[in-house]
Copies of this chain bind each other. A is one copy, B any other.
């Protein structure tokens, strides 16, 4: 099992003497380069049943006045203001029927919540304020209705043509009510990105097979696929390549075909058997940056493929991979969808957080909610970037800018949810 040194393919002798801190971008610079590179996703029309959680790409205007008619707000009777206290009930106005006509201003019409206000009536008296005997309603003694009461006037919520939903909105449950209520059965949303996830490394074995001491199971691709699914990006196709240049080329060619975004994990730390950078170069993927001044996740690589594919090559260590994916890939996909929202939010540190002098630090965190309305981030110290086994109870990562000493408890940091 000893390889003769000179036979290692693609081995680059100068790798062994690279300076310790060669150029690494800042976190913000890296994010800016990604945003400038990633192409906006196109749009597609989907039926309402498939629209929840998608990003709206058109303006939705009110189909008609809301309410579309003078709407009765209470079960009770409709009368003309000034009518006597004893009123014959001349009919029943239920919801879903055209307006009746109150021809006799000394009578009334029984009304149901949501019904049209009968023509000729201008005031609703709730059922609680009347008694009813032999088809005649009598107002409670001393009760004087206010003219126009309990009528929700046509157009008082919004006027036909008013803009109700703007492009870039994530379609929530109430937004679906707005679409449906305004006759929009099909809606323009951002199409989903076509995604590939590619893991590399001889040491990676499937989840459900045997595992030998020197092998590890393919966990990064499961975590990345889960995050994509949970954030509404649909299903990604998955690939795996062993540490072999031809196999890497073959798999990467397939992974790049007709994709918007390719997410690699492993194979980019350099000094590794890194066929990945070689294959990327041969396939015409241009490097935009390599290495970011952060811990974990320093080896992050980002490039642009010949058909405009964005290629993220994440470090192979699980914590590094999830950190880079959550900090860079998810927000980039959200931006490519044209979403106006921001995924990052400021939260308060529950305890002191150690800073690093020249590196942005990411730490997994679990959130709690103080009674004051403040959300607190409790840090989970992980022993190494390979220690993913304790991340299951965390909610995301906090981003701690470079600095001396500790960021004190209570200070605000940026949180990125898994």
A interface list, Cβ under 8 A from B: 1-3, 5, 8, 13, 15-20, 48-49, 51-53, 60, 62-64, 66-69, 71, 73, 75-76, 89-92, 94-100, 110, 112-116, 127-128, 130-132, 135, 137, 152, 156-158, 162, 164-165, 169, 171-185, 201-204, 207-208, 211-227, 229-230, 243, 269-273, 316-318, 322, 326, 345-349, 364, 369-376, 383-384, 386-395, 412-413, 418
Contacts and interface: CB of A to CB of B under 8 A. Distances in A.
A75 B12 CA distance: 13
Contacts of A152: 383-384, 386
Nearest to A99: B214
Nearest to A56: B392
B207 A177 contact: no
Nearest to A369: B345
A394 B175 CA distance: 9
A143 to B, nearest CB: 11
B5 A388 contact: no
A157 B387 contact: yes
Given A219-B181, A372-B412, A1 B97 contact: yes
Contacts of A387: 66, 157
Given A8-B92, A18-B127, 7 more contacts: A5-B92, A112-B272, A173-B230, A174-B394, A181-B216, A181-B318, A345-B369
7 contacts: A53-B229, A96-B243, A164-B392, A173-B223, A177-B318, A177-B322, A179-B222
